[in-house]
Structure 1
Amino acid sequence: MNALDYFNARLEATISPMDYLRSKQIESEKYFLIDVRNGPTHVRSLTIEDANIIPEQELPERISEIPKDKEIIVYCWDVWCNTAAKVAKFLLEQGYKVKELTGGIAAWQQMNFPVSKSNNISDNCGC
């Protein structure tokens, strides 16, 4: 793979927090954002505003909650976390159109974008 192919593939598979926020403001119904983070409840209490919380370990039994007619955006903790990439791969194999939010919730918070407290968190941390 040459550099151009690499960057084209990377841009096709990811979306930056700024690009996602801008695109969602233009076409709010186009996207379905999923917080796929695993971990203890107390560390997952903040989530990106309007995100659907479906931890990676719950995904197979909750896949029916994910619409096939929207572009799915998945995120996890940070650039060092590969949970969102694993979920994206799984959803792509199921026929979904998926992108990973680059930098996860850490990048989102760093940019001071809207977050909210989540009341819909399962206690099964998947640790």
Structure 2
Amino acid sequence: MNALDYFNARLEATVSPMDYLRLAQVEPERYFLIDVRNGPEHVRSLTIKDAYIIPQQELQERLHEIPKDKEIIVYCWDVWCNTAAKVAAFLLERGYKVKELTGGIAAWKEMDFPVSNSLNVNPSDNCGC
């Protein structure tokens, strides 16, 4: 693989936080963002706003929750974490269209983009109506 092929493949498989934010604002119904980080809930309580939380370790049992008609964007901790890449490969093998959010939650927070804290959410506030 030459350098051009490498960079084209990288661009095909990833999306930057800035690009994802812009794209999701224009066509929010096109994307399905998943936080795939593993670990105790208290250390992963801060998530990207509107992300679905499906840890990698639960993916097999929760695959039915992921729509096949949307572009799936997965993220994990940061550039050193490869959990999102593992999930992306798993989903691609099953026919999903997937990209990894580069830099994970760390890059998102660094850009001061919208986040949610799942520990501050009171389940009784969500009546489902």
Length-normalised TM-score, structure 2 = 0.91
Residue number in structure 2 paired with 1:76: 76
- Aligned-residue sequence identity (percent) comes to 82
Larger Cα Rg: Structure 1 or Structure 2? 2
Residue number in structure 2 paired with 1:28: 28
Larger RCO of the pair (alpha carbons < 8 Å, separation 6+): 1
- CA shift, 1:118, in A, is 1.4
Residue number in structure 2 paired with 1:9: 9
Residues 96-105 or 37-46, more deviating: 37-46
- CA shift, 1:24, in A, is 0.5
CA distance in structure 2 between the partners assigned to 1:40 and 1:58 by the alignment = 13
CA distance in structure 2 between the partners assigned to 1:41 and 1:61 by the alignment = 18
Structure 1 stretches of 4+ with a deviation exceeding 6 A read none
Count how many residue pairs are aligned between Structure 1 and Structure 2.
120
Q: Secondary structure at the match of 1:38?
A: coil
CA distance in structure 2 between the partners assigned to 1:113 and 1:90 by the alignment = 28
Deviations 1:29-58 (A, max 9, x none): 000000000011111111000000000000
Q: Which runs of 5+ in 1 are unaligned?
A: 121-127
CA distance in structure 1 between the partners assigned to 2:80 and 2:39 by the alignment = 15
RMSD: 0.9
Structure 2 residue identity aligned to 1:79: V
Aligned pairs (5 A) from 1:79-90: 79-90=79-90
Deviations 1:60-94 (A, max 9, x none): 00000000000000000000000000000000000
Q: Which runs of 5+ in 2 are unaligned?
A: 122-129
**Does residue 39 in structure 1 map to residue 19 in structure 2?**
no
